[in-house]
């Protein structure tokens, strides 16, 4: 069994309730969406085929036990589910960042799912699989990436409709150069939301530099 891998590296987790912790990232190749603000277009094509054993060996080069599968879209590859299971067997805390358009139902119950719900400004909101919401656990996270006030109001409506704050953690993340964090924070305070303001911490730390150590 092999997966197409774009890169494996150690960095600081920057976009969830785990942000600030050292974390191993396995970035898988390929994505079925094309969000307007995508900052990982380099993961769309290419990559190296690796067996699950090889990925475990590369990750095991670090003593860090927090690992995130990301992309691209990691669930585009069927073998990703088995990879999460093998990592959990090895006592990793496994995060998976998924774009919300692919069924998450087969993932191991110990996987921490960080699921995007794509807002209108992404151009991909009609690709969301809202049935996924029923699989979310208290330990999971839903992330809305917001460019403007329209995205904000759309997200409030979705949150209410699916009672998201009762099901899981909810994150609001501003698109850099489109919506300033202080504007978004102001809206959230005014509405007293039980939502986490999510800034991309790794971008503040590393700026334009290489954002971690290759494994
Ligand atoms: S889902 Fe993620 S990787 Fe795919 S296009 Fe959107 S932002 Fe980029």
Q: Which helix (H) or strand (E) holds 144?
A: strand 141-146
Q: Across all residues in the chain, what is the average pLDDT?
A: 95
pLDDT at 171 over 90: yes
Q: What is the DSSP letter of 33?
A: -
**Alpha carbon of 190 to ligand 1 centroid (Å):** 30
CB atoms within 10 A of CB 211: 15
Widest CA span in the chain: 50
HSE at residue 118, side-chain half, CA atoms within 13 A, is 22
- For residue 124, the ligand 1 atom closest to its alpha carbon is 6
What is the tens place of the pLDDT at every residue in 44-88? 999 999 999 999 999 998 999 999 999 999 999 999 999 999 999
Q: Considering the domain 2-214, what is its CATH architecture?
A: Alpha-Beta Barrel (3.20)
Alpha-carbon gap, residue 161 to 163, rounded angstroms: 6
Alpha helices in 90-200 (DSSP H): 149-161, 164-167, 181-190
Query: Of all protein residues, whose CA lies closest to atom 5 belonging to ligand 1?
Result: 34
Q: What is the DSSP letter of 65?
A: -
Yes or no: say if 142 and 117 are a contact pair by the CB < 8 Å rule.
yes
pTM: 0.95
Alpha-carbon gap, residue 15 to 45, rounded angstroms: 24
| 68 phi, psi to nearest 5 deg | -125, 130
Average pLDDT of span 86-104: 98
Alpha-carbon gap, residue 103 to 169, rounded angstroms: 19
Name all residues whose Cβ lies below 6 A of ligand 1: 31, 33-35, 38, 40, 71-73, 99
What is the tens place of the pLDDT at every residue in 11-40? 999 989 999 999 999 999 999 999 999 989
């Amino acid at each position: 069994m092999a997966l197409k891998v774009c890169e494996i590296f150690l960095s600081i987790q920057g976009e969830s309730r785990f942000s600030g912790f050292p974390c191993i990232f396995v970035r898988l190749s390929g994505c079925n969406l094309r969000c307007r603000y995508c900052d990982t277009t380099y993961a769309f094509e290419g990559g190296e085929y690796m067996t699950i054993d090889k990925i475990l060996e590369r990750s095991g080069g670090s003593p860090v036990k927090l690992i995130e599968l990301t992309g691209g879209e990691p669930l585009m590859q069927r073998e990703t589910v088995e990879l999460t299971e093998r990592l959990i067997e090895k006592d990793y805390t496994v995060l998976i960042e998924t774009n919300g358009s692919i069924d998450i139902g087969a993932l191991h119950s110990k996987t921490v799912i960080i699921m995007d719900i794509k807002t209108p400004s992404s151009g991909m909101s009609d690709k969301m699989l809202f049935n996924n919401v029923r699989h979310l656990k208290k330990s999971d996270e839903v992330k809305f990436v917001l460019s403007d006030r329209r995205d904000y109001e759309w997200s409030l409506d979705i949150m209410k409709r699916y009672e998201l704050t009762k099901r899981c953690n909810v994150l609001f993340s501003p698109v850099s150069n489109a919506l300033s964090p202080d504007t978004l924070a102001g809206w959230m305070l005014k509405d007293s939301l039980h939502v986490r303001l999510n800034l991309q911490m790794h971008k503040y730390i590393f700026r334009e530099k290489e954002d971690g150590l290759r494994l």
